[in-house]
Amino acid sequence: MSEYQYCEFQAIDRPLTGEEQEAVASLSSRVDPHPRRAVFTYSFGGGLRRPAEDLLAEYYDAMLYLANWGSRRLMFRYPKALVDPEQIGQYNVAMTDYPSDAVRAYTQDEHAILDIQLDEEEGLDWIEGEGWLDSLVELRDAILQGDYRLLYLAWLKGLTLAYAVDQSALEPPLPPGLRALTPALERFVELFDVDEDLIQVAAERSSDLAGEVSDDDLRRAIAQLPLEERDAFLLRLAQGEPHLSLALNRRLGTLSGAPQGDTAARRTVGELFATAEALRERQCKERAAQAEANRIAELKALAQREDEAWREVDTLIQQSQAKAYDEAVGLLKKLKHLAEYQNRQSAFEEHVSHIRDQYSRRQGLMRRLREAGLHT
């Protein structure tokens, strides 16, 4: 299989200047300068001349990297004052000896970087990278809004990739809303192949998302802001500060007494794995029971037209065609199952014996009967 690497960057908070675009274009002959986006694709080896994380930290706000040998990486850049790396760090996977690098956050200059890196040992099916980052980029704003479902899902995926997970480690803070994922979160689950049984188990204790704050609540919280602080917010607004509404709403939330953090009891990694395995076993039994119920329903329906089915077998055989022989043998196998269900195997054998005697010279039919276990 050919190598395939896809790396896409997007600038969200501000477009790149012409000078910055030229600097990015100088890294590869395969990229065209663009104020908001840069895509690097490699099919036969090679790669970026600079580390992707450095390119993100200097110019861009979002990055997605895919390689068909199993690497997947999603990175977001934020203004440093708006993200707490310690909070994000709670979602890294606890190994028996040391933490993994599946989910980490760090600061670089005036920025905070979220880095989700998940590597599949067995590689990936061939997948084109185009369009994926567009469907994931709204997750960057979700983190800014305090929606950490992305981090929790990445943590779940990291559990299944780590070779020495600490089974006694507690799960990180459980975010609300895991039972109703957004389309962007569903795309992340699809692209990063997060275990859906683990998601279902984790979501059992996840509360619903809080409703929107009413205008009256906002007015009451604004009224509690000291006049000097209100003027400072207005000045920052006039200066065009990005993400100012986020900072203001966080401040108003502290004044309104909005609940902070999760209240669900933490489970251990071992408990999550055990519950997910029990769920898989239960689902397997339910599927088997449903399949058996469907099989019995089909047999009962066949019993209602058994005489007609035997006549149909004879009609098909008389056509002396390969396709008709295949259909006849398939119908005979169903009639055999019906006989076993009704405990009338001897009657079935008499029918089949008659067919073998009557059409013994038809080698194609006899061969098919032997292969189906209907003729010795």
The Cα 36–Cα 68 span in angstroms is: 26
243 and 326: one domain? no
**Domain assignment present for 120:** yes
pLDDT at 83 over 80: yes
For 8, 60, 194, the CA distances from 131, given in Å and listed in that order, are 10, 17, 19
**Residue of 32 and 132 predicted with greater confidence:** 132
The b/e string for 141-154 (b: 16+ C-beta within 10 A; e otherwise) is ebbbeebbbbbbbb
| Pairing between β-strand 62-67 and β-strand 37-42 as defined by DSSP bridges | unpaired
Q: 290-339 pLDDT, tens per residue?
A: 999 999 999 999 999 999 999 999 999 999 899 999 999 999 999 999 99
**Residue of 34 and 262 predicted with greater confidence:** 34
pLDDT at 246 over 90: no
226 and 119: one domain? no
126-144 average pLDDT score: 88
118-143 average pLDDT score: 82
The Cα 11–Cα 26 span in angstroms is: 18
pLDDT at 222 over 70: yes
Q: 18-71 pLDDT, tens per residue?
A: 999 998 888 877 777 789 999 988 876 666 778 888 899 999 999 999 988 888
151 and 224: one domain? no
**Domain assignment present for 117:** yes
53 contact partners, CB below 8 Å, separation of at least 6: 75, 113, 115
22 and 118: one domain? yes
Which one of 161, 194, 227 terminates a domain? 194
pLDDT of 330 reads: 92
pLDDT at 127 over 80: no
**Domain assignment present for 61:** yes
pLDDT at 4 over 80: yes
**Domain assignment present for 118:** yes
What value does the mean pLDDT of the chain take? 86
312 and 244: one domain? no
Lowest average pLDDT, out of 110-114, 118-122, 190-194, 335-339, goes to 118-122
**Domain assignment present for 291:** no
pLDDT of 294 reads: 94
**Domain assignment present for 107:** yes
238 and 309: one domain? no
Percent above pLDDT 90 for the chain = 50
166-174 average pLDDT score: 88
pLDDT of 262 reads: 56
pLDDT at 266 over 80: yes
Quote the number of domains for the chain.
Answer: 3
pLDDT at 208 over 60: yes
46 and 10: one domain? yes
Lowest average pLDDT, out of 66-80, 111-125, 319-333, 350-364, goes to 111-125
105 and 230: one domain? no
103 and 17: one domain? yes
DSSP 8-state secondary structure symbol assigned to residue 41: E
pLDDT of 376 reads: 56
pLDDT at 259 over 70: no
249 and 326: one domain? no
165 and 86: one domain? yes
**Domain assignment present for 281:** no
This prediction's pTM: 0.76
H-helix segments, 305-342: 306-318, 322-342
Give the pLDDT band (50/70/90) at residue 98: low
Which one of 240, 256, 272 terminates a domain? 256
175-203 average pLDDT score: 93
Query: In degrees rounded to 5, what are phi and psi of residue 253?
Result: -65, -40
126 and 21: one domain? yes
How big is the chain, counted in residues?
376
**Domain assignment present for 283:** no
Give the pLDDT band (50/70/90) at residue 211: low
pLDDT of 337 reads: 94
pLDDT of 82 reads: 85
pLDDT of 263 reads: 56
Give the pLDDT band (50/70/90) at residue 153: very high
Q: Which domain holds residue 310?
A: 305-371
86-98 average pLDDT score: 74
